[in-house]
Chain A
C-alpha cells in the first residue's frame, strides 16, 4: 500500500537533492572542519557555505547562525542563554500553546524559583495581545513566542510582539520551527533577537537545527567544550547534515510564494470538502491567518486515535490532539488553551501537507475520511441525535 503522508508538521521527507549533497560527506569528505590540513579545510568551507544558505532563508547574516542538533536544542539554548545573561532577572514570559521544548523548559525554570507567565490565546488560537504589555516588566529575562503553532498552524503577530519587547528592552525569542520554509521570514524587518528552526521540518534530515542570534545579543553557550561555532556551540560539527540543511534552506527559499499558494489551495480543498461531507466537524484555529499547509479538524463524538488507526489502514498518515495520542492521558494543551469543547478536542485530526502532496492524494483522503468518521460514529454512544443532520461549524457545549 502506498503511504499517503499528511503529517509534515511532525517531520518531512528529506528532499532527494538534499540527500545527494550530503552523501560525499559520509565517505569521501569526512575530514574534521577544525583540522589544519587541506582535507579538513575543504569541509570547513562547505559548512560556511551552508551557513550562508541557512541565513539567507531568514534574511540573516551568516555569522548570526549557530548550528544545533534540533529545534529543541535551539529553543533550550535561547532560553538558557537569556536567563544566564541576565541573572538578576527572575521572570520569563511565554504562551500556553508553545511547543514542549519551550513550555517544559520554562516550567523547569519555574521549579527553580522563576516566575513564569503563560500568555493565553482566544478560541481561534490567536494570542490575547492585550495581555502582553502587562506581562512584561523590569524583571523579565526573556519573552518567547512561537512564530506559528504546530497544531493549528495559526501564525502569531511576531513583528508586533517583537516591537513591544524591544520597547521594554526585553530579549525576544521566537520558535519558528513550524514557520521556517513555509512562510517568508525576514529578520531584518522582524524585531526578534533569537529565532529557532529545524532541518527536518523543511526537507532536511532529522538531527540538525539552527539558532539565529542577532548581532549584539548577549549570548551564553549551552554546550561547553571546543571552539566550534565560534565558541557558541561546542561539539564537532555534524557536517553531512549541516550541508543538507543548507541545501534544504536554499530549496525552501525558492518560489516560496507560489509554493504557498499551491499547497494552501490543496489544503483548502481538503478542508472544505471534509467539512461539507462530515456533519459535526469544525476547524480549530483562525482560518484567516494560518500556515498554508496545516488544518486541524475536529470530528465530534469520535476519538482521534481510532480515526488515525482507521486511516492508517489506507496508508494515510495524520496526527491528533486526542488524549490517547498525546503520550499523557490529557488531550492537546493547545486545543485546551483555546477552549475547544471536549466533544471536539478528542476527535481532532491534524493534516499537514508539503510540496510533495498531490491533488490526487487529496482527492483520495476526501473519499476515505468521511466513511471512516461515519463508521466510528456508528460505534459511538454520543451524538446520535445529530448523526442525520448535516451541520458544520462550532456548536454549544463545553467540556
Chain B
C-alpha cells in the first residue's frame, strides 16, 4: 500500500474542481487509457487580464493522479497565464505535501496538461514533430521529455526517470538508452542539487515542519536522557514549547532552546524564536 499524505487522501476522496467547464477557453489533455492515467484540464481565462478565473479536471487514474489533478486546478486558479506557466511538477507535489517517489509521474502529468492548455490557448503549434525521438515505446516517452524532466527535477538515475516519466517501466528494453541520455546530460558533472527555492511557507506547512523536527529529531534525543519537550503553540515565527521530565529545571535548558531554535531556523528558512512556556 502506498504511503499517501493526508492532503493526497483528502483531494482523492473529496476532489475539488472535478468535472468539465462549459465553453472552456482552454483545454489541455495528456495521457491515455492504455498508459493507465489521463488528464483533461479545462480553463476559463479572462481575456483582458490573462487571468485564469476557473479550472476543472477530469482524470482517469489512481488516487495520486486524481489528487495531483485537483491540486493543479487549485494552484492555477487566480493566476495569470504567465504565472501559471511557471508551475512545475514539484509545485504540485509540494502542494500535496509530497508524493511517493514512484508516483511522481502523476505530478508531471499535471504540469504537462497545464502546458498543453496554455500552448493551445496561445495558438502555438504542437511541439511534437515526426523527428521526435521516442525512447520508451511502452509509454511513448520522448528523449526531449526525459531530458526536460531530468533537468527540472535534477534526476540522475534510470529509476528516478521511471518514477517521474514512466519511461523504462514497461518492458525495460529502453533502460540502457535512458542511462546513455543521463550520461550525456550530466556529462559535464552533476551539478549540486539546487537549494530549494525560497518561498513563503503556508502556516499549515510551517507548523507541520516544526512538528516534524520536534518529533523526529529533538524529542528522541531528549527522551534518551529522560527529558522531553512538547509543542505548545506557534504564533508566526514564535514557537512556544513546554519542557517535560528531566528537562524541567534542567540547568542546560537555555542551550536546548537555542539548539531547537537553530535547527528550526535552518529547516524553515526563516528566523525562528523559541520560548519555553
Residues of chain A having any CB pair with chain B under 8 Å: 301-306, 309-310, 313, 322-324, 328-331, 342-343, 346, 378-382, 399
Contact = CB atoms under 8 A, between A and B. Distances in A.
A329 B18 contact: no
Given A305-B63, A313-B13, A381-B59, A329 B166 contact: yes
A46 to B, nearest CB: 37
Nearest to B168: A329
A306 B18 CA distance: 15
B66 A329 contact: no
A328 B138 CA distance: 13
B36 interface: yes
Chief secondary structure at chain A's binding surface: loop
Contacts of B138: 329-330
B187 interface: no
A379 B58 contact: yes
Nearest to B136: A329
Nearest to A399: B34
Contacts of B60: 301-303, 346, 379-382
A329 B15 contact: no
B37 interface: yes
Interface in B7-58: 12-13, 15, 18-19, 29, 33-34, 36-40, 58
Contacts of A331: 36
A303 B39 contact: no
A124 to B, nearest CB: 22
B39 A381 contact: yes
B227 interface: no
Contacts of A343: 33
Given A305-B63, A381-B60, 14 more contacts: A303-B62, A306-B12, A306-B63, A306-B65, A324-B36, A329-B36, A342-B34, A378-B18, A378-B19, A379-B58, A379-B66, A380-B59, A381-B59, A399-B34
Nearest to B8: A309
A382 B37 CA distance: 11
Contact of A324 (B13, B29, B62): B62
A346 B38 CA distance: 12
A133 to B, nearest CB: 30
A331 B2 CA distance: 17
A106 B188 CA distance: 42
A346 B59 contact: no
Given A342-B33, A382-B38, A329 B162 contact: yes
Contacts of A380: 58-60
Given A309-B63, A324-B62, A381-B60, A346 B19 contact: no
Contacts, number: 72
Contacts of B62: 303-306, 309, 322, 324
Interface in B54-113: 58-63, 65-66
Nearest to A313: B13
Contacts of A346: 33, 36, 60
B170 interface: yes
Contacts of A324: 36-37, 61-62
Name the residue among B40, B63, B170 with the largest chain A CB count within 10 angstroms.
Answer: B63
Nearest to A309: B63
A322 to B, nearest CB: 7
Given A378-B19, A379-B58, A310 B13 contact: yes
Name the residue among A304, A322, A346, A378 with the largest chain B CB count within 10 angstroms.
Answer: A346
B55 to A, nearest CB: 15
A399 B13 contact: no
A23 B140 CA distance: 55
A307 B270 CA distance: 42
B139 interface: yes
Nearest to B37: A303
Contacts of B36: 303, 322-324, 329, 331, 346
A381 B170 contact: no
A135 to B, nearest CB: 23
A331 B62 CA distance: 13
A381 B38 contact: yes
A301 B39 CA distance: 12
28 contacts: A301-B33, A303-B37, A303-B61, A303-B62, A304-B62, A305-B62, A305-B63, A306-B12, A306-B62, A306-B63, A309-B62, A323-B36, A324-B37, A329-B36, A330-B170, A331-B36, A346-B36, A379-B15, A379-B18, A379-B60, A379-B66, A380-B58, A380-B59, A381-B39, A381-B40, A381-B59, A382-B38, A382-B60
